[in-house]
């Protein structure tokens, strides 16, 4: 076996994945570059936020060693995010990849196979390093300048921080797949990894602006929490790395080396653990996966046999309800996303000002436009290959869409009802105000679900592996743009027709507007469905 030849093949595979050649690959190439661009933008935004945080710490007199504790917290977050990403990638690339059978049958040693698959996983697991690890160190260095030699520590520290959770992830994946069916494990981990990124993003948008307010300074408690040595720091690889940078910033090369040494040793031990786990359990785990391809059969209650006329609407609603309730990754994701969408307006709300009806209305509007994407758009690719029945069966696209819309509303309305009730009670809104908000929010939900259905039909990917990425990247970006446009439009309408203006117009205008605009995406979706082709 020529390891160099195998490695060259892997390189070509990775290159063709990232930069595909040929006319038909233009879309995939721009999509890969778009992902890279988005990661860099996110890293830039987080980096600027963290630079402001470290500047604030320096301004308030934190020493390099004290500020390094804040860096340690950030790197610990990176470590946790990497562990989630690595566990997902270990399951995806090390145990379920399509080329695994070929590699296993070739005369590759377990160590060489593991090495190849770890290289495969490197670019995909690097996201937390690029969007948080690197910006955290750069932010620290902008406030506490590092000597030139200390920058040599950066790649070694980042590589070690990447390797440590990967070894643990590989070992954990072997055991996880003995307990949970492979596909469910993969979807759940994909969801956790995306939610981790989302939480990092929310923390960046919500917490940092409050901590780094130059007018009010850093709250005392926050300063103390960020600069204190946390319990267990002596055993935290993230804090070893941070203390190494702290020592470097203080001009202490020996101190930097003393803190970097256990970090590198832990990385080597972790790699050894991955190798040992793969050598001992990889074969058995993969053999287990092959013999129970679909997992243990799960029996469900036999559907009741009814008499009478057939109902397409009832059939589609029953099917969607069954599929939705049996997929806890999607169910959990929708509920988490609903909470995040509702809380989103708080990011821009002033920290100490009392919220009023305006904030409640904005929170409900954020939820309603979000539900269009979370529920309606994803309900289309959620059908996976079953979507082909839209083209096979004698069903008009318009009827199918109407049933899907009813199904999406059946899921979205209870969520909206619970959140509305919570906000009305929490903000003690008078009934008239609550009614006025609902007169805006319900039409907004209708339009949002219609637009969501269109994006789902136009951009849904029936072969999704991550519930948060059930639409193509272009679809997700377009959906984001539509969400912003809808929220802005409804808020503008609320400003143009404030309470006190002609009541009938104020209550009826949103409904008329939503009904008129909803026709456009529904017609576009129906036209798209009637042209849908199924080549898979």
Partner 1 sequence: MSEPPPLRVRGLTRRFGDLTAVDALSLELRAGEILGFLGPNGAGKSTTLRACAGLLRPDAGDIEIAGASLASAPLRARALMGFVPDRPFLYERLSAREFLDFVGALYGLAPDACAARAAALLARLDLIGAADDLIEGYSLGMRQKVSVVAALLHDPPLVMLDEPLQGLDPRAARALKDLLRERAASGGGVLVSTHLLEVAERLCDRVVILHRGKKLAEGSLEELRGASGLEAAGAPATLEDVFLELTREEAAEGGE
Residue range at the interface with partner 1 (CB under 8 A); choices 7-15, 215-223, 297-305, 348-356: 297-305
Q: Give whichever of 304 and 354 is closer to partner 1, judged by the CB atom.
A: 304
The CA distance from 133 to 47, in Å, is: 9
Contact status, residue 82 vs residue 161, Cβ threshold 8 Å: yes
301 counts as binding partner 1 under rule CB under 8 A: yes
Residue range at the interface with partner 1 (CB under 8 A); choices 289-297, 370-378, 433-441, 490-498: 289-297
Residue range at the interface with partner 1 (CB under 8 A); choices 55-63, 270-278, 307-315, 435-443: 307-315
- Residues in contact with 488: Cβ distance below 8 Å, sequence separation at least 6, in sequence order: none
For residues 142 to 181, the per-residue mask of contacts with partner 1, x marking binding by CB under 8 A and - elsewhere, is ---------------------------------------x
Binds partner 1 by CB under 8 A, chosen from 220, 306, 428, 463: 306
Contact status, residue 364 vs residue 419, Cβ threshold 8 Å: yes
Binds partner 1 by CB under 8 A, chosen from 29, 124, 210, 319: 319
For the bound state, the minimum distance from the C-beta of residue 379 to partner 1, rounded and expressed in Å, comes to: 13
Binds partner 1 by CB under 8 A, chosen from 2, 105, 220, 296: 296
Contact status, residue 67 vs residue 143, Cβ threshold 8 Å: yes
For residues 179 to 198, the per-residue mask of contacts with partner 1, x marking binding by CB under 8 A and - elsewhere, is --x-x---------------
Contacts of partner 1 in 434-463 (CB under 8 A): none
Q: Give whichever of 280 and 399 is closer to partner 1, judged by the CB atom.
A: 399
Tokens of 60: 């308030």
Contact status, residue 363 vs residue 442, Cβ threshold 8 Å: no
Residue range at the interface with partner 1 (CB under 8 A); choices 153-161, 172-180, 367-375, 378-386: 378-386
Q: Give whichever of 300 and 354 is closer to partner 1, judged by the CB atom.
A: 300
For the bound state, the minimum distance from the C-beta of residue 338 to partner 1, rounded and expressed in Å, comes to: 22
For the bound state, the minimum distance from the C-beta of residue 267 to partner 1, rounded and expressed in Å, comes to: 38
The CA distance from 29 to 18, in Å, is: 7
For the bound state, the minimum distance from the C-beta of residue 183 to partner 1, rounded and expressed in Å, comes to: 8
Dihedral, CA of residue 131, residue 28, residue 15 and residue 112, to nearest 10: 80
For the bound state, the minimum distance from the C-beta of residue 293 to partner 1, rounded and expressed in Å, comes to: 7
Please, how many CA atoms are within 13 Å of residue 301, restricted to the half-sphere of its CB?
A: 5
Contact status, residue 237 vs residue 263, Cβ threshold 8 Å: yes
105 counts as binding partner 1 under rule CB under 8 A: no
For the packed helices 328-348 and 312-325, what is the interaxial angle rounded to 10 degrees? 80
Q: Give whichever of 329 and 486 is closer to partner 1, judged by the CB atom.
A: 329
Contacts of partner 1 in 320-339 (CB under 8 A): 322-323, 326-327
Which DSSP letter does residue 460 get? B
For the bound state, the minimum distance from the C-beta of residue 95 to partner 1, rounded and expressed in Å, comes to: 18
Q: Give whichever of 291 and 495 is closer to partner 1, judged by the CB atom.
A: 291
Largest CA distance in the chain: 84
SS3 471: strand
Start-to-end CA span in the chain (Å):
35
For the bound state, the minimum distance from the C-beta of residue 531 to partner 1, rounded and expressed in Å, comes to: 7
Tokens of 74: 């950030």
For the bound state, the minimum distance from the C-beta of residue 5 to partner 1, rounded and expressed in Å, comes to: 28
Binds partner 1 by CB under 8 A, chosen from 134, 365, 383, 427: 383
The CA distance from 333 to 470, in Å, is: 12
Residue range at the interface with partner 1 (CB under 8 A); choices 69-77, 283-291, 392-400, 481-489: 392-400
Radius of gyration, CA atoms only, the chain:
26
389 counts as binding partner 1 under rule CB under 8 A: yes
Binds partner 1 by CB under 8 A, chosen from 287, 314, 335, 418: 314
- Residues in contact with 30: Cβ distance below 8 Å, sequence separation at least 6, in sequence order: none
**Distances 465 to 62, 185, 238, 302 between C-alpha atoms, Å:** 45, 11, 30, 29
307 counts as binding partner 1 under rule CB under 8 A: yes
2 counts as binding partner 1 under rule CB under 8 A: no
Contacts of partner 1 in 15-74 (CB under 8 A): 23-24
For the bound state, the minimum distance from the C-beta of residue 243 to partner 1, rounded and expressed in Å, comes to: 49
Contact status, residue 49 vs residue 224, Cβ threshold 8 Å: no
Contact status, residue 58 vs residue 143, Cβ threshold 8 Å: yes
Please, how many CA atoms are within 13 Å of residue 232, restricted to the half-sphere of its CB?
A: 5
471: which strand partners? Answer: 460
Burial of residue 533 (CB within 10 Å: 0-12, 13-18, 19+) is: exposed
Residues that bind partner 1 (CB under 8 A): 23-24, 181, 183, 293-303, 305-312, 314-316, 318-319, 322-323, 326-327, 383-389, 391-396, 531, 533-536
């Amino acid at each position: 076996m020529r390891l160099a030849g195998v490695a060259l093949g892997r390189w070509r595979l990775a290159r063709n994945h990232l930069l595909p050649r040929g006319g038909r690959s233009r879309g995939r190439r721009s999509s890969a570059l778009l992902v890279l661009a988005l990661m860099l933008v996110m890293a830039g935004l987080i980096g600027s936020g963290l630079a402001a945080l470290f500047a604030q710490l320096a301004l308030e007199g934190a020493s390099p060693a004290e500020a390094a504790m804040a860096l340690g917290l950030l790197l610990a977050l990176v470590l946790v995010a990497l562990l989630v990403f690595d566990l997902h990638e270990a399951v995806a690339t090390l145990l379920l990849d399509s080329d695994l059978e070929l590699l296993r049958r070739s005369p590759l040693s377990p160590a060489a196979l593991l090495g190849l698959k770890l290289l495969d996983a490197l670019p995909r697991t690097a996201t937390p390093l690029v969007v948080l690890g690197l910006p955290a160190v750069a932010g620290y260095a902008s406030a506490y300048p590092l000597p030139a030699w200390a920058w040599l520590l950066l790649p070694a520290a980042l590589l070690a921080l990447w390797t440590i959770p990967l070894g643990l992830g590989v070992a954990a994946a072997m055991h996880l797949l003995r307990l949970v069916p492979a596909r469910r494990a993969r979807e759940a981990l994909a969801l956790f990894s995306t939610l981790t990124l989302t939480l990092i993003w929310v923390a960046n948008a919500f917490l940092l602006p409050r901590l780094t307010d130059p007018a009010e300074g850093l709250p005392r408690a926050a300063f103390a929490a960020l600069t204190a040595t946390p319990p267990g720091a002596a055993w935290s690889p993230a804090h070893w790395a941070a203390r190494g940078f702290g020592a470097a910033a203080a001009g202490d090369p020996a101190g930097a080396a003393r803190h970097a040494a256990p970090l590198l040793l832990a990385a080597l031990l972790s790699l050894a653990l991955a190798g040992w786990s793969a050598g001992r359990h990889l074969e058995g785990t993969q053999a287990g996966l092959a013999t129970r391809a679909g997992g243990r059969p799960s029996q469900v209650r036999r559907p009741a046999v009814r008499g009478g006329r057939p109902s397409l609407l009832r059939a589609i609603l029953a099917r969607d309800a069954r599929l939705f309730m049996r997929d806890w990754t999607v169910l959990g994701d929708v509920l988490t996303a609903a909470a995040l969408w509702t809380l989103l307006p708080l990011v821009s709300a002033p920290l100490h000002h009392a919220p009023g009806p305006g904030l409640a209305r904005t929170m409900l509007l954020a939820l309603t436009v979000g539900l269009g994407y979370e529920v309606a758009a994803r309900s289309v690719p959620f059908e996976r290959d079953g979507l082909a029945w839209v083209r096979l069966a004698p069903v008009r696209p318009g009827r199918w869409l109407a049933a899907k819309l009813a199904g999406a509303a059946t899921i979205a309305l209870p969520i909206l009802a619970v959140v509305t009730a919570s906000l009305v009670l929490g903000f003690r809104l008078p009934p008239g105000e609550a009614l006025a908000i609902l007169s805006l929010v319900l039409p907004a939900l209708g339009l949002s679900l219609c637009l969501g259905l269109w994006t789902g039909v136009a951009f849904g990917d029936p072969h999704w592996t991550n519930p948060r990425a059930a639409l193509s990247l272009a679809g997700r970006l377009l959906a984001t743009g539509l969400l912003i446009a809808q929220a802005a439009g409804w808020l503008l309408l609320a400003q143009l027709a404030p309470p006190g203006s002609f009541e009938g117009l104020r209550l009826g205008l949103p409904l008329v507007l939503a009904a008129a605009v909803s026709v456009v995406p529904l017609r576009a979706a129906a036209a798209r469905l009637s042209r849908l082709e199924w080549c898979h």
